[in-house]
Every structure is written in structure tokens, then in C-alpha cells.
Amino acid sequence: MQFTVQQIADLLGGTIEGNPDAILHTIGRIEDAGEGELAFLSNPKKYADYAYDSDATALLVPKDFEAARPFKATVVRVDNVQEAIAGLLRMYAATIPQPSPGVDPSAFVHDSASVHPGAHVGAFAYVGENATVGEGTILEPQSFVGSGASLGDNCLLQTGARLLHGCVVGNRVRLLANCVVGTDGFGHTREADGAWIRIPHLGNVLIEDDVEVGACTTIDRSITGSTILRRGVKLDNLVMVAHNVTIDEHTAAAAQVGIAGSAKLGKRIQLGGQVGMAGHIVLADGVEVAAQSGLKDSILEEGSKVFGSPAKPFRQWAAEQSSIRRIPKMMEQIKELKKELEALKKGSGVV
């Protein structure tokens, strides 16, 4: 596909500095974009030096960005670069052909299953007894929908994704490659002799609309009731959600986050990569947790920002980190003071 810079600017409500008739055919990285490519400057502090000499045909830059020197490329200024690029990519993605409705001959669909005629079931996919697959939903090759499971409209199960028995998924949900939704949780109890006994998990997983579950992420079914992901939740790759967890609307977790059983997370929470969370704790709406932090206690103040392991408020964490950086210098000062003290003792005759 081809667009002029003017067409892109009109789509994004941007202003042009340079040639409005220049032709664009794809989006490139600002570090190495070339002729015919549109690059973007969403982080001026890190990438501004690349922007000035970029060989891209056009650059998207923030409306308020003050250039230190002229750009080689034509510039389109927009209010929010990341939003603009996301919108362009969505429009481009909408032009990519989707699989045709129908069931591949190699797929297995149980006679009692309900698959909408507008859905696509790919090669070697499996749809179990009494399962439901909605209109416009795509099951890629080797994906799995267990007995009694339900998928809404316009969902995507990528290759190897597993939606196990009895789990319920809303509309426009994306389950990415090799994720597992609805496996048993890590629930065991000890006998008197110390041996572990597995606790049956008789509940399910409930996922509301517009949720994304990343590749190789696992969401355990509940012991009773449901493990719940509310509308708009976004989970990155390799996230672990244990049994009976509830995650409220528009909360996001980066890669390798681990959430232990029965934790309750509020709305619009942000969890950085490798955050670890103890079971049965509560996080209030809007909490932000920095990468590699460890949470052992609930955080009940909305909008709190915490860092470290164990996690603590940002100001406390920053003060402690500052103190730690001063320790080597303090140790040298202590050594000097000890020398001075020894000299004073010798001079005064004190033993």
C-alpha cells in the first residue's frame, strides 16, 4: 500500500514540515529506516540523535518537540506519537487477509459443539463436547477448546493456545501462542506424615471482553468459583496467574510476573516485569509496581508506586538506595576516623 505524507497527516490530524507529496509504503525503525518508510520519534531523550540524520522519507515527532538542528526527512508533528503509530498499525493490520470462515478437514469438532458459520477452525485444531465458538473467532492450527468451554465473537486462539474445559471467554479476546487457560492450580495439602495431597480444582476461568493473554502465559482454574480477568486486562508473555485470583479492568502485567493464589488486583494496575506477589493480598486501583519487586503485603492506597523486594513506597526505596550508594565512602571515612582516634589515644597516653 502507498500513501502520501499529506494523507498520513490528514489521518492523524498532524502538521507537515517538508514535502507533503512524498510517498510512503511502510513503517520503519528510526535507527535504520530508509526511503519510502515512515519512522517515529516517541522518546526524544533516547532517540533524537537518530532523527536528525534519518534516511526515512518522513518522521512522526511530538508537536512540542524543539529540534536542535534541521531534519533531513519531512516531518509530521502530532499530539501523541505512540497513539498515532498504534492507530496506523491498526489500520494496516485491518488490510491483512484473515482466514476464511469454515472448518479445516483435519480439525476435530465434536458433534455437540456449536461453531458459528463465520468462525475459522484451522488445521488440527480441537473443539470439544458442548463447546461454543462465536462469530468471527479464529482458531489457528493446533489450538484447543475443551469440553464445555465458551469463546465469544472475534476472538483469536493462536497456534498451541489451550482453553480448557468449562472456561468462559468474552468477545475480542486474544489468547496467544501456547498459553494455557484453565489448568489446575498449585493446590495441595499435607497429610499427617508430610505427604502432599492434591486438592481438586472444580472451578473455571472467566475472561471478559478485550483481554489479551500473552504467549506461554498460564491462568489456573479456581478450586471453586472462578479465576477472573475483567475487561481490558493485558498480560504479557510468561505470566503466571494462580487459582482464584481476580484481576480487575485494564490492569496490565509485563513478562514473568507471578501472582499467587486468591490475590485480588484492582483496576488500572501496572506490574513491571518479574514482579512476584504473595497469595491472598489486595492491590488498590492504580497501583504501580516496578520491575523485579516482591509484594508480601496488601497495598490499599490507590495510585501507590512501590519498588524493591520487599516492595516499599518510592520515596523510602529511593532514600534507601541513595544510602546504600554512600556506604563505600562512609566505610572509608570510618577507617580514617579510626586512624585519627588511634593517633589521639597514643598522643594522650590513653590505652
The three cell numbers locating residue 81? 506519537
Burial of 69 by CB count in 10 Å (0-12 exposed, 13-18 middle, 19+ buried)?
exposed
pLDDT digits (tens, 9 = 90+) for 176-233: 999 999 999 998 899 999 999 999 999 999 999 999 999 999 999 999 999 999 999 9
- CATH superfamily, domain at 102-312: Hexapeptide repeat proteins (2.160.10.10)
pLDDT digits (tens, 9 = 90+) for 57-89: 999 999 999 888 888 999 999 999 999 999 888
Whether the pLDDT of residue 349 is over 70: the answer is no
Candidates 120, 165, 201, 243; catalytic one = 243
Query: Which region among 92-96, 196-200, 229-233, 307-311 has the lowest average model confidence (pLDDT)?
Result: 92-96
Q: Residue ranges of the domains in the chain? A: 3-93, 102-312
pLDDT score for 55: 93
- Residue 232 carries which side chain, given as an amino acid letter? G
Distance of alpha carbon 201 from the chain centroid = 27
Q: How confident is the model at residue 93 (pLDDT cuts 50, 70, 90)?
A: confident
SS3 of 335, please? helix
Q: Is 124 left (phi over 0), alpha (psi -120 to 50) or beta?
A: left
Least confident of 113-122, 200-209, 275-284, 301-310: 301-310
Burial class (CB in 10 A: 0-12, 13-18, 19+), 106: exposed
Q: What is the pLDDT of residue 45?
A: 87
DSSP 234-246: EE-TT-EE-TT-E
Taking 60 as the threshold, does the pLDDT of residue 129 lie above it?
A: yes
Question: What percentage of the chain has pLDDT greater than the value 70?
Answer: 99
Please give the span between the terminal C-alpha atoms of the chain, in angstroms, as a whole number: 89
Q: What pLDDT shows up at residue 343?
A: 86
CA 350 to chain centre: 66
243 is catalytic: yes
Q: Does the structure show a pLDDT above 70 at 56?
A: yes
Amino acid at 50: Y
CATH class of 3-93: alpha beta
Rounded Cα distance between 24 and 41, Å, is: 17
Per-residue exposure over 260-282, b if at least 16 CB sit within 10 Å of its own CB, e if not: bbbbbbbbbbbbbebbbbbeebe
The mean pLDDT value of the chain amounts to 93
- CA gap 116, 251 in Å, rounded: 31
CA 73 to chain CA centroid, nearest Å: 33
263 forms bridges with which residues in the sheet? none
Tell me phi and psi for residue 28, to 5 degrees: -125, 170
- Contact predicate 247/230, CB 8 Å: yes
CB 186 within 8 A of CB 261: yes
Residue 311: predicted pLDDT = 86
